[in-house]
Structure 1
Amino acid sequence: MADSSFDIVSKVDRQEVDNAVNQAAKEVAQRYDFRGVDAEITFKGDTVTMQANTPERVMAIVDVLRSKLTKRGVSLKALDLGDKEPKASGKIYVLAGALREGLSQEIAKKITKIIRDEGPKGVKAQIQGDEVRCSSKSRDDLQTVIALLKGKDLDAALQFVNYR
């Protein structure tokens, strides 16, 4: 019997992120505590930018965005806010967050190490670019690996695809 396999990837549905940002922008425009304070949120390329006239208001916009992303099924780990401190540019505070896609080499190595150390014996994991391919003779072992990785707190939004 041939080996079964699946890929571990970290992808972001850009349309869902765009929808979440648009919903957050609408809420920010309508909320009374954001009236007349130059508060806004934009999404261009791979970056979500939030700005307002105080750091607290910027963090409030971040909270609104997080709730919208969660409702749309986008992992919060996909948005990298860096040091989480809004930067002042003149009278406006700005916080930019980049979307993270693909597994970094560091995270891919962590995943393969977890599979080697804690996973079932017959499972092989290899890094292929920005994803990890797992293969095994036993489909049950692959299910065990998926459950194992879901239980770990890795710094990436993981999806398991191409299961065959």
Structure 2
Amino acid sequence: MADSSFDIVSKIDRQEADNALNQARKEVEQRYDFKGTGADIAWSGESIVIKANTEERAKAVLDVFQSKLIKRGISLKSLETGDPVQGGKEYRITSTLKEGISSENAKKIGKIIRDEGPKSVKSQIQGDELRVSSKSRDDLQEVQRLLKAADLEVDLQFTNYR
């Protein structure tokens, strides 16, 4: 019998992220507590820039954006947010969406699989993803349960299950 396998990836649906940003922008434009504060959220290349006239308002816009991401099924583990920076009369928060598994995190995941997972399972790093293979599909499902329970700083998806 051939080996079964699946890939561990960390990807974001860009369209869903864009929809979340547009929803957050609409809410910020319509809410009374944001009137006259210069609050705005927009794409700036690959990053997201939040602007407001006070640090608290900028953080409130970030909170609105985070709630929209959660509703759209995007984990906050994939949002990397900087500290508020004052530039002139406005505060800016720059955020980026992380994709892919860094080699450091891939090694951590591989170590968890080796140490705590079933012995018949093999993991292999392939660029920014991991391939996990085994003869037993039950062992592969056990690895998925193990990784979902592990507290990692990366949002994981399991794809390409064969």
Deviation of 1:46 (Å): 2.1
Percent identity reads 64
Letter in 1 for 2:35: R
Partner SS state of residue 101, structure 1:
coil
Deviation (angstroms), 1:19: 0.2
How far residue 78 of structure 1 moved from its aligned partner, in angstroms, is 1.1
What's the counterpart of residue 51 of structure 2?
51
Letter in 2 for 1:65: F
1:43, distance to aligned residue in structure 2 (A): 1.8
Alignment match of 1:127 (pick from 111, 125, 128): 125
What does 1:142-153 correspond to in 2, within 5 Å? Answer: 142-153=140-151
Q: TM-score by structure 2 length? A: 0.98
Residues 68-95 of structure 1, C-alpha deviation per residue, up to 9 Å, x if partnerless? 000011111111113xx20000010000
Identify the range of structure 1 (122-131 vs 73-82) with the bigger mean alpha-carbon deviation. Answer: 73-82
Return 5+ residue gaps in structure 1 as ranges.
none
Partners of 1:79 and 1:156 in 2: how far apart?
10
* Mapping 1:93-132, distance limit 5 Å: 93-132=91-130
Q: CA-to-partner distance for each residue in 1:97-134, whole Å, 9 max, x for gaps? A: 11101000111011000000100110000110000000
* Structure 1 length-normalised TM: 0.97
Unaligned segments of structure 2, at least 5 residues:
none
* Structure 1 partner of 2:156: 158
| Partners of 1:44 and 1:19 in 2: CA distance | 15
Alignment of 1:1-150 (within 5 A): 1-82=1-82, 85-150=83-148
Point out 4+ residue stretches in structure 1 off by more than 3 angstroms.
Answer: none
State the 1:156 CA deviation: 1.0
Give the Cα separation in 1 of the matches to 2:151 and 2:59.
Answer: 24
